[in-house]
Chain A
Amino acid sequence: MVFYLSIVLGKLIALIIRIFGIGAGSTWPGHLVLSLDSKFIKKIIKRNPSLKIFIITGTNGKTTTVALLKHLLEKNNISCFSNQEGANLLSGIASALIKNSSIGGKIIKEVGVFEVDEFNFPLALKELSPLAIIILNLFRDQLDRYGEINTVFSRWFEALKSISSSTTVFLNGDDPQLYYLGQKISCRVLYFGLEQKKMPFKKIPHDVDFNYCPICFKLLRYKRIAYSHLGKFFCQNCDFRQTNIFTLKENLENFSLRGIYNQYNITAVFFLLEKVFNFSVNKLKLTLTDFLPAFGRQERINYKKRDFYLWLSKNPAGFNQSIEAVISFVKSKKNVFWLILNNRVPDGHDVSWIWDVDFKKIISRAKKIFVSGDRVYDMALRLKYEQVTLKKMIIVNQDLKKTLLKIIDETKEGEEVFIFPNYSAMLELRKILVGKKFL
């Protein structure tokens, strides 16, 4: 009885939120329902035994991977739903389940795809009985909020030890620590990765987190590196190395999935769809072309006849990858860049991570760099310290709207502006550029 009442109440709350336009209704219905019945998620899933659940987690690429998975499922006539971006706590998952179920608790859609953040992954694992899990990567991110990544890793390990044998875990096998995780858990584990020839680097970059052997703790060596600590690794001491990695032979370029990090996201999704639904890679390739980016991720917004490109960049590995990808496709020799650094709750309060980002490539391709956000001077200093003569190229203003006006002033119609905001900065700027709030 409480169960049905919960659904009705949840739907009612969602309706009220929509009518009064006070939000997207992506967390509050679930929040309310979970406070009435903490076992709600478990119960509704039990009533829908044929619903296939996929969980996507990792530091970077969750939102894009969920969007891509949904796109490819729908293109292949499989109905699906997901939690909304930013609503990746249990309340967001519950809200999505309520929204997609009948009052009787029946969910008609075939697949539920849930994005879960690093911290909430163990909790979500307990509630949902996923058919498959994709773990994309693990990098340092918001250490003051999530904790150090060894702690995150231990929590994942504990949670994955006890999952059901009917779950398949798709792990990034180019990440030594995740590969090691796969060797230690008992459910079905499959690895995805990149072909060695697609990996651009020989030298270990600065922004690595797991560069030592998880077995004997000697420093790992790499034949090639894709980015950060992802690559073809091996331990000279104990011979720890990866085998049985699923890779895609060709480079699947899509204009909104630039960058080597997206090659990982695409590979993971293709692999999962092949294993679960028997979709062929060739068939999937055809439906990839019209995929549009999730908002703020390589998104292009035309504003006052200028093209603004938003590249969400919120931790060292992600930021370095954004820079690599942008530099690989900018047409002009000298460009306009805009870096926005906030340190609000969703960003983490500590901004020290910007010193682990390599800005040289931006600087060498810039005519002007605008800097804004709550911690504008931290970012300005980061740039200034990169090169002694640089200061005059940097324009500093904390306020986003004022900076935008200045950029319009200093650019011509049709010019491109490349923006690297962190999370709350991206939401704030997007609201200014498209004129409405998303979350």
Chain B
Amino acid sequence: MKLYLGWLYPELMSTYGDRGNIIALSYWAKILGIDLLVYSISLNDPPEKILKMDILFMGGAQDKQQEIVSRDLKNEKREALKKAVEEEVPGLFVCGAYQFLGRYYKKADGTKIPGLSIFDFYTENPGSNFPRLIGDIGIKTKISNNEIVVGFENHGGRTYLSNKSLAFGEVIFGFGNNGKDKTEGIFHKNTIATYLHGPILPKNPKITFFLLKKAIERKYKRKIFLKKFDEEWEKKAREMVIRVNLDKAGKLANL
């Protein structure tokens, strides 16, 4: 079985160890006997390239790099990405890439950068008087069978979903989309968009496995199962973060 993984703008959208997600997908693909080929989709690449992919990934970026990308990811290229999402190509979009998928991003100075409008949400940076949302984060997600997914978040923008039931997870500790409504990310049609970096996949193999499984189902119409796998260090890495954060909040006993 062969899968094509499209990494969108790797040299520009790669700020918080985003490469770790590619490394994790490659690692588990190897264990599952899947031949995973990674392709860069970057500036000046044709839109058709996006449509050849079985999995899509796009990482976080700083404002400047995000501007460069937004000048490239428009018209047919935007439509191609939208089509891929609609056609249920599994995808992971982290931080800046998450914000891209919405209707707009309002910068700290008030200017609005239009998004790709693939999903119905918007992001606003309340201005420099408000702190960035930085720290460990733990969320419960359906994909992980309610096991806590652990990561790190660092974002100035606050994201508001028009339909909260589309959230990727429920915040257990940390801020999530906006620090208020306990929602984190968005999950729709096999696309996961989230503020969790860290990066998210190495520590949370259930999410990694979900992306690979869906890609195989979609392309080869067959189901794959991971019967026995060694998750010792992943689990301990998560537990370390969960312990520190729930101890702080005094919540450990309630869990």
Contacts and interface: CB of A to CB of B under 8 A. Distances in A.
A372 to B, nearest CB: 13
A349 B240 contact: no
B158 interface: no
Contact of A349 (B27, B71, B135): B135
Nearest to A350: B152
Contacts of B1: none
Counting chain A residues whose Cβ lies within 8 A of the other chain, the interface size class is 35 or more
A350 B24 CA distance: 19
Contacts of A151: 62
Contacts of B224: none
A204 interface: yes
Given A378-B237, A381-B202, A385-B202, A355 B23 contact: yes
The interface centre, meaning the residue of B18, B63, B237 with most chain A CB atoms within 10 A of its CB, is B237
B233 A352 contact: no
Interface string B54-98: 000000001111011001000000000000000000000000000
Interface string A198-210: 0000001010100
B11 A208 contact: yes
Given A212-B68, A388-B30, A355 B233 contact: no
Interface stretch (A31-39, A140-148, A164-172, A417-425): A140-148
Contacts of B62: 148-151
B30 to A, nearest CB: 6
Nearest to A349: B135
A211 interface: yes
Contacts, number: 92
Given A149-B62, A388-B27, A206 B19 contact: yes
A360 B213 CA distance: 28
Interface in B227-255: 230, 233-234, 236-237, 240
Given A148-B15, A219-B43, A385-B202, A355 B27 contact: no
B11 A204 contact: yes
A356 B199 CA distance: 10
A52 interface: no
Contacts of A71: none
A354 interface: yes
A380 interface: yes
Nearest to B240: A377
Contacts of B43: 218-219
A374 B136 CA distance: 14
B117 interface: no
A381 B31 contact: no
B127 interface: no
A217 B154 contact: no
Nearest to A354: B17
A246 interface: no
Contacts of B14: 206, 356
A375 interface: yes
B27 A377 contact: no
B210 to A, nearest CB: 17
Contact of B154 (A144, A206, A356, A396): A144
Interface in B176-209: 197-199, 202-203
Contacts of B234: 377, 381
B197 A386 contact: no
A204 B15 CA distance: 16
Interface residues of B, number: 38
Nearest to B20: A355
A386 B23 contact: yes
Nearest to A388: B30
B154 A143 contact: yes
Interface string B3-28: 00000000110111111100110010
Given A388-B30, A388-B31, A140 B15 contact: yes
A143 B237 contact: no
A215 to B, nearest CB: 13
B160 to A, nearest CB: 23
A240 interface: no
A378 B203 contact: yes
B47 to A, nearest CB: 19
A349 B12 CA distance: 24
Interface string A380-423: 11101110100100001000000000000000000000000000
B113 interface: no
B134 interface: yes
Nearest to A387: B27
Nearest to A391: B230
Interface in A112-159: 140, 143-144, 148-151
Interface in A303-351: 349-351
Contacts of B67: 217
A355 B197 CA distance: 11
B126 to A, nearest CB: 17
Interface in A202-254: 204, 206, 208, 211-212, 217-219
Interface of B: 11-12, 14-20, 23-24, 27, 30-31, 43, 62-65, 67-68, 71, 134-136, 152, 154, 197-199, 202-203, 230, 233-234, 236-237, 240
Interface of A: 140, 143-144, 148-151, 204, 206, 208, 211-212, 217-219, 349-356, 374-375, 377-378, 380-382, 384-386, 388, 391, 396
The 8 closest A-B pairs by CB, nearest first: A355-B17, A355-B20, A377-B237, A352-B17, A352-B16, A148-B62, A377-B236, A150-B62
23 contacts: A143-B16, A149-B62, A212-B65, A212-B68, A217-B67, A217-B68, A349-B135, A349-B136, A349-B152, A350-B152, A351-B152, A352-B198, A353-B16, A355-B17, A355-B20, A355-B202, A356-B17, A377-B237, A378-B203, A380-B237, A381-B237, A384-B233, A391-B230
